[in-house]
Amino acid sequence: MAKRLGTDTLLLPTRPVILGRGAVGGKLEGEGPLGKQLDAVFLEADMGEESWEKAEVRLQQAAIRRALDSAGCPAEEVELLFGGDLLNQCSATSFALRELGIPLAGLYSACATFALGVAMAALSVDGGGFRRVMAAASSHFCSAEKQFRFPLEYGAMMTPTAQRTATAAGALLLQSAGEPLPPERAAAAHSVCVEKVLFGRVNDLGVADANSMGAAMAPAAADTILRFLKDTNMQPTDLDCILTGDLGEIGSQLLLELAKCEGGVDLAPVHRDGGRLLYDTAQQDVGVGGSGIGCSAAVLCADVLPKLERGEWQRVLYVGTGALLSVITPLQGESIPAIAHGVLFSVAP
């Protein structure tokens, strides 16, 4: 039974365990600092499909299948999958799941969708009735550009504050704590579990520039992180890492300032951002960093969770950040609401 700490954070006493993980990316992501840690890299943007949307379906399926394979778990044993993407009506996820046959709880929380999915999956496993539950999410640079900005053929320039939507997907398989681990996972040095989760509120400080999403999302990230620290009576340095996803360089700077001004805490020693980890922002042409649901999902699954499994880190707060605009809302004069959901991963005792 989950227990409430403070006003917003939930402690999951059964500590659902991560059984499998998958992270895949495109060519540019494969050339980045984490390229060798991805489970698969697709060198062609269309992945052999006839549209960007269908390519994204393949991408998300690849992440899900890697997560299942890494746990030696057939799809039939997964009782529910929380999934989402950025395409209108979340169609990449729906079509990906059509072939896999796993029951689907579709989510939408923009680039915070993977964090929301992991939080929901952990909560479901903790609440009983589920043995194995997944979370999955994807984004694709080409399908996102086409839908949110311009057709690629138009050759639009990036604005100075823009982030690049990652072609990437991540998937996690969670298992209830009481179940025995399969041989593949038992071989890892440490088991990683979900210890706490926290659901975000919609924040909007009035940023209206759809090319400056990091700025729009920073207040939501600060809100969620400060509430988490207050609820749990923790300091940032009690954590090995606070991984936001994805604020980019500008949003990350604003987060540090907001946390200092509003909460009097210095996040700098432990803060990392998925949008600055997936790419070499100095060498690769990605604006102020990566974004897109798949960005932090891939960074979490390919880099952060392995650090916990190896025992290099003990506790990581993953804070997915999402900008809740549509193409239409800025045209109607609206600023950009944002949300951030938090998941505390820790090495299982």
Residues that bind a second copy (CB under 8 A): 1-4, 8, 10-11, 50-51, 53-54, 79-80, 84, 86-91, 94-95, 97-98, 101-110, 113, 116, 120, 123-124, 126-130, 199-202, 204, 324-329, 332, 334, 337, 339
Residue 22 tokens read as 């998958």
Q: How far is the CB of 8 from a second copy (least distance, A)?
A: 7
Q: Which is nearer to a second copy, 37 or 329 (CB)?
A: 329
Q: Which is nearer to a second copy, 8 or 240 (CB)?
A: 8
Q: Which is nearer to a second copy, 200 or 294 (CB)?
A: 200
Name residues whose C-beta falls within 8 Å of residue 263's C-beta, 6 or more positions apart in sequence.
Answer: 222, 225, 226, 229, 230
Q: Which is nearer to a second copy, 44 or 99 (CB)?
A: 99
Q: What's the burial of 4, exposed, middle or buried (CB within 10 Å: 0-12/13-18/19+)?
A: exposed
Question: What is the C-alpha separation between 136 and 173, in angstroms, rounded?
Answer: 9
Q: How far is the CB of 237 from a second copy (least distance, A)?
A: 27
Residue with structure tokens 């395409």? Answer: 87
Q: How far is the CB of 77 from a second copy (least distance, A)?
A: 11
How many beta carbons lie within 10 A of that of residue 171, not counting itself? 32
Q: How far is the CB of 199 from a second copy (least distance, A)?
A: 4
Q: Which is nearer to a second copy, 72 or 128 (CB)?
A: 128
Q: How far is the CB of 130 from a second copy (least distance, A)?
A: 8
Q: Which is nearer to a second copy, 221 or 256 (CB)?
A: 221
Instruction: Let me know: does 117 contact 136? Beta carbons within 8 Å.
Output: yes
Question: What is the C-alpha separation between 190 and 175, in angstroms, rounded?
Answer: 15
Question: What is the C-alpha separation between 147 and 141, in angstroms, rounded?
Answer: 10
Query: SS3 for 208?
Result: coil
Q: Which is nearer to a second copy, 128 or 151 (CB)?
A: 128
Question: What is the C-alpha separation between 276 and 266, in angstroms, rounded?
Answer: 19
Q: Which is nearer to a second copy, 112 or 162 (CB)?
A: 112
Q: How far is the CB of 273 from a second copy (least distance, A)?
A: 22
Measure CA of the first residue to CA of the last residue in the chain; give whole Å. Answer: 19
Q: How far is the CB of 5 from a second copy (least distance, A)?
A: 9
- Cα separation values, 91 from 24, 51, 64, 103, Å: 19, 13, 16, 15
- Report the run of H or E that residue 232 belongs to, with start and end: helix 213-232
Question: What is the C-alpha separation between 245 and 229, in angstroms, rounded?
Answer: 18
Q: How far is the CB of 240 from a second copy (least distance, A)?
A: 25
Query: SS3 for 287?
Result: strand
Question: What is the C-alpha separation between 170 and 67, in angstroms, rounded?
Answer: 8
Q: How far is the CB of 119 from a second copy (least distance, A)?
A: 8
Q: Which is nearer to a second copy, 88 or 237 (CB)?
A: 88
